Structure formats: C-alpha cells, structure tokens
Amino acid sequence: MDKFITVKKDSPDFQKYIENRVSNFRAVPVESQNINTELEMVTFELKEMSEFASISLKQKIVPLLKLNKFLYFFFPIFYVVATAWLNAYVVDEITLLLSWLSVTCLFLAVNLRADYIDHMIGLDRILKKTATKPVSLGWVSAYRVKQFSYLFFAASVVMGIPIVIAFPITLAAMACATVIIFWAVLRQRQSFRSHMLGDLGWSLLLGPILSVGFELSIRGVSSTQTFLFGLVWGVVVFYRIQLQNFEVIMEASVAKIRNGITWLGFDRGKDLILGLWIASILLFAAFHAVYSHWLYWISTVVLCAIFTYRSRSTFQNLKSPVGSEMGIFIKDFHQLYVLLTVLWAVSLGFLFLVQLFGKALV
C-alpha cells in the first residue's frame, strides 16, 4: 500500500477518503490545496490501523464531547432549576430528567455534526487551534462522527416526545431551535463559524431559546425573569464566541472565512470584543439590580469594574494579531468571561443562603 495518496475533490474516491470509510487503514490529511473549492486537492497519509492501537478511548472521546463547552448549555439549565426551587414553583420531575437528557443529546448531536462539517469543508485544516483532534488525526473516522450525531439527535427527539405530550407549548421552542440549528449552525453544509450570522444563531440557541424552552418543558409556563436571563446569557455566549473567532482571525482571513470578526478586521474586531464585554457586564448589572439583593448587586458591579479596569492595559498593548500580546489578550478576556459566570453562580448561592436564613428566623 502506498504511504501517500493525493485525491481531487471531483474524484469518486474523495468522499471515501475524507470520511475515512475504509476498513483496513486510515487516511490522515497532511496537505490541502484550494480548500473548500471545486479545485480542492488533499494529500492523505495512509496509516495502518495498528498505528492507532496506543490511542486510548478517553483520548478519542473526550475532545469530541467538548466538555469545556458544556457550560454554554449547563448554566441556563442550572439557573432555571435553581430559580424554580427558590420560587417554590411546581416542577415535574420526570419531564425535568427527560428535558435535561434531551437537551444534552441535542447539544452533542449538533456539536458532532458541526465537527463532521468542519472536517469535510477543511475548516479544521485551516483553523488548527480549534480543530477536532481525533478526527483530523484519524483517531476517529468522520463517517463515525456523523453516525453518532444522527444517533444523539434521534435520542433527543425520542426523549422530547413525552415532554411535548405533557406540555404541548414546548413545540414552539422546539420549532425555534430547529430553525436556528439548520439555518445558522448547519447552514448549507457550513460551520457556524464560517458565515456572518452563524455565531449569532448559536448564541440565540444557547440563550433565550434554551432558557425559555427548558422552563416550558418542566413547568409548562415561562417567566419574564427566565427570558431576560436568556437574553443576557446569549450576549455573554456571543462575546465568548467572538473572542474565539478573534483568536484565529489571521488564519480565518487567509482562508477567506467571512464571519463578523473577519468582516470587521483586526482593529474593529478588537473594539467589538471590548464592546461586547462592556455590554455583558452592563446587562448583567441591570439584571441583578432587579432580581438580586442590593448588597450582592453592588459587590458584583464593583468586582466587574475592578477586573475590567485591570484589563485595560492588555487591550491597549495589543497592536497586532502576531506575537505574545495576542495570547495574553485572549487569556485575559477569557478570564473575564469566567468571572462573570462565577459571579452569576455565586448570586444563586447567595439567594439560597438568604432564603435559608429567612426560614431559620421564622
């Protein structure tokens, strides 16, 4: 067997090699030309299956699960359940479990499908920093990833049926989610990172649609507080996604990927990151001014102001996407995102303590 083979996109074998739909070897892409065009050519290194024997199941599965992104959908669920308990709402335990499992399966299905598309269109060969390592290195075949995405999607639908029967109104949220998934996340075999409005759709999906939809699925109704929380969380997620896009702005620009950051360019993109962060903390402050204790609200505003002021030098020192300043900027502004999430979680803990202390006094 030849060690290397170059296949053109119009070849009948291209799909087979790029998906790794072969039984006795793996085709690992090592060089690509004219990526995501009709003239695309990919050189594959053909490796025996025995070469992957040392790769553990954990190494294959954990990167595909994207555990670091679970916070995107876990936190709205946690918030809805926690506020339901604080407000003594009647919650159906069975639909709560089914809703959580259904949302988890849907999140996995969408992520796996996006990984498959990123591999097929060559995005993970362009944006190596955000590539799905098991697929791009041939540890797991793209074809298998696609199959598992279908499996998780089917599981999500099956577990969603009893929820719709219990609370038919959830169909509205499911319809919105379906439109977003197919229009923004999986639009025309594109990654949500490779077109202008994909990241906005992802933020809507993980923000107001998830928050309201999950509350509808466990209570049959939704509150204004949950909707407003979803809007604010959607802005925070949008900020985080744009920060990721900004990190790979050079590679994306070379590959002619047209998202919001590449359209704005480096300088205006940097301003967008700062603007989104300021919008996030202002919305966060406004939300907690209404729904949190005034003492906690003041303390969080002060903390956000201090950390934002501390990051001003990082913002001012960033003059180019090349160099160590870029890494420092990404790390610093990612920490701001973590700070906001932690403060939000602490606010729920604070409300728990206030309620428990009030009950103890009574």
Higher-pLDDT residue of 356, 137: 137
Residue 5 in tokens: 């083979």
- Which percentage of the chain shows pLDDT scores above 70? 90
Mean pLDDT of 304-323: 85
Q: Where are the domains of the chain?
A: 4-52, 57-361
Q: Quick check: 102 and 224 in contact, CB under 8 A? A: no
Q: Which helix (H) or strand (E) holds 281?
A: helix 266-291
Report CA-CA distances (Å) from 248 to 88, 121, 200, 291.
Answer: 45, 17, 18, 37
pTM above 0.75, yes or no: yes
Burial 106-126 (b: 16+ CB within 10 A, else e): bbbbbbbbbbbbbbbbbbbbb
CB atoms within 10 A of CB 31: 12
Residue among 199, 201, 204 nearest 252 (CA): 199
182 pLDDT exceeds 50? yes
> What band does 362 get if pLDDT is binned at 50, 70 and 90?
very low
For residue 5, the surrounding DSSP H or E stretch is strand 4-8
- Degrees, nearest 5: CA angle 323-328-332: 155
Per-residue pLDDT at 130: 59
Q: Retrieve residue 185's tokens.
A: 């996340």
Q: How many other CB atoms sit within 10 Å of the CB of residue 361?
A: 6
Of the spans 55-64, 131-140, 156-165, 288-297, which averages the highest pLDDT?
A: 156-165
Higher-confidence residue of 26 and 215: namely 215
Q: What is the structure's pLDDT at 118?
A: 80
- How far apart are alpha carbons 151 and 134 in whole angstroms? 19
pLDDT digit string, tens, across residues 211-248: 999 999 988 888 999 999 999 999 999 999 899 888 88
Three-state DSSP state, 48: strand
* CA distances for 352 relative to 77, 80, 89, 120, 138, angstroms: 17, 14, 15, 47, 48
> Based on the number of CB atoms within 10 Å of its own CB, is 362 exposed (0-12), middle (13-18) or buried (19 or more)?
exposed
**What is the Cα–Cα distance from 111 to 145, expressed in whole angstroms?**
10
| 129-170 pLDDT, tens digit each | 655 578 888 888 888 998 999 999 999 999 989 999 988 888
Q: What six digits make up the tokens of 273?
A: 């990151």
